[in-house]
Amino acid sequence: MESYYLDWANLLLRWVHVITAIAWIGSSFYFVFLDSSLVKPESPELQKLGVGGELWAVHGGGFYNPQKYAVAPAKVPDHLHWFYWESYSTWLTGFSLFTVSYLWNASTYLIDKSLMNWSSGAAISVAVSFLAVFWILYDVICRAFGQRKHGDALVGALIFLVVCAVSWLACHWFAGRAAFLLVGAMIATTMSANVFFCIIPGQRTTVKDLREGRAVNPIHGLRAKQRSVHNTYFTLPVLFAMLSNHYSFTYSHPQNWLVLIVMMLAGALIRQFFVMRHGFKLGRNSHPWPYAVVGVAAIVGAVVWLQPAPPDAHGASSGASGAPTNATNSVAINEASTGANGQLGYADVQKVLEQRCYMCHGAQLQMKNVRLDSPALLKQHAQAVYQQVVVTKIMPMNNATQITDAERAVIGKWFTDGAKTE
């Protein structure tokens, strides 16, 4: 029953998280586009009012004319719309989802004992510290180097190095799927922290100074702009890290940390292309196509790199680092085979399931409401077993029961032989 309610919590939190993330990313993308597309107003009246740029647009049957003041209007309106709840709501729902999905059952979803055999409490503490430590390092880098000559390039390079180091650590300390999600959550936490600690406080200070007639410290606007730009480059890497948990060929690769870095870098480069292309149309910068080309090339390279080796006659792939050879798999299949024409039957696959699967999908426990300890139930879930155990190798979760590739090959052969349960 607990699993049932956790599934509902996961579903509802995921739903709200996606909704709020769409609102946050949508508004962020829009304002980045707006800043790149503004043109100096031709109207003397607007110039006199201090309008530094405007855009004419048509949408939904109406015409819009957003305007941006070079500094601020002569009088700050009483009513201002602040963009921050989208960010806060996204982080709150995201952290709640991370808690329900990974921290609540850390021993199953967060810990891979072949990497680090630590307690649930230790794993949770380290995972949560990733979120805080990365933000602190990022903030120190921005404040120390952000205002220097060529500061943007230096800050970008240092942050990239920190992301690489943290990705390597996460993938060597935690289960692959959890590691990818943790890196995404770490960067997303920094994005929301930028809003909470830098952008909104700076804007509130600026508005207060304007209303009270004091000189505005330009550092607040510069810092808010810097963090806002960083957030837009973080967005696509975070989205990849969040979506990757559905695709085990990424996080289960022996060099999964490098896969994560390559794909996040590709996302940042592609985002750079879209940020710059609006300015290019107005003649403000060179054509950004090299960023798109390099980003797409990185993705294509990853696709080629990660493609599985061709399966052998028994459906077992070869060539994985440290995996048993096809010859080993074939020996295991031949030893298990008791049926006519060398086909495997229920008794053969039951030996594997009993040792590797029944503890979570048997009489005592049915994770995800799946039970496999009878011919009828195994027949009902045969396709899912084949997909999860043989094709994607998601199960057993983090290979907690130490199933071998030879045993996966037995299940694969049994399924391709017709999944007999007589």
Question: How do the pLDDT tens digits run along the chain, 422 residues long?
Answer: 567 788 888 899 999 999 999 999 999 999 999 999 999 999 999 999 999 999 999 999 999 999 999 888 989 999 999 999 999 999 999 999 999 989 988 988 899 888 998 999 999 999 999 999 999 999 999 999 988 888 899 999 999 999 999 999 999 999 999 999 999 999 999 999 999 999 999 999 999 999 999 999 999 999 999 999 999 999 999 999 999 988 888 998 889 999 999 999 999 999 999 999 887 877 777 889 999 999 999 999 999 999 877 655 444 454 444 344 454 455 455 555 555 567 888 888 999 999 999 988 988 887 777 889 889 988 888 888 888 888 878 888 878 888 998 999 999 999 888 888 87
Residue 320 confidence (pLDDT) = 41
**How far is Cα 27 from Cα 195, in angstroms, rounded to an integer?**
13
- For 57, list phi and psi in degrees, rounded to 5: -140, 155
Residue 322 confidence (pLDDT) = 38
| Greatest alpha-carbon span in the chain | 92
- Alpha carbon distances (Å) from 10 to 339, 367, 370, 393: 43, 15, 18, 23
Residue 397 confidence (pLDDT) = 80
Residue 312 confidence (pLDDT) = 54
Q: 0.95 cut: is pTM over it?
A: no
With CA atoms as reference, report the closest residue to 192 among 238, 160, 128, 256: 238
Q: Decide if 99 contacts 120 (C-beta within 8 A).
A: no
> Cα 419 vs. chain centroid, distance in angstroms?
36
* CB-based burial label for 321 (10 Å; 0-12, 13-18, 19+): exposed
Residue 18 confidence (pLDDT) = 96
Residue 274 confidence (pLDDT) = 93
**How far is Cα 411 from Cα 201, in angstroms, rounded to an integer?**
58
Residue 220 CB partners (closer than 8 Å, separation 6+): 202, 203, 205, 206
Read off the tokens for 126.
């380290």
Residue 1 confidence (pLDDT) = 57
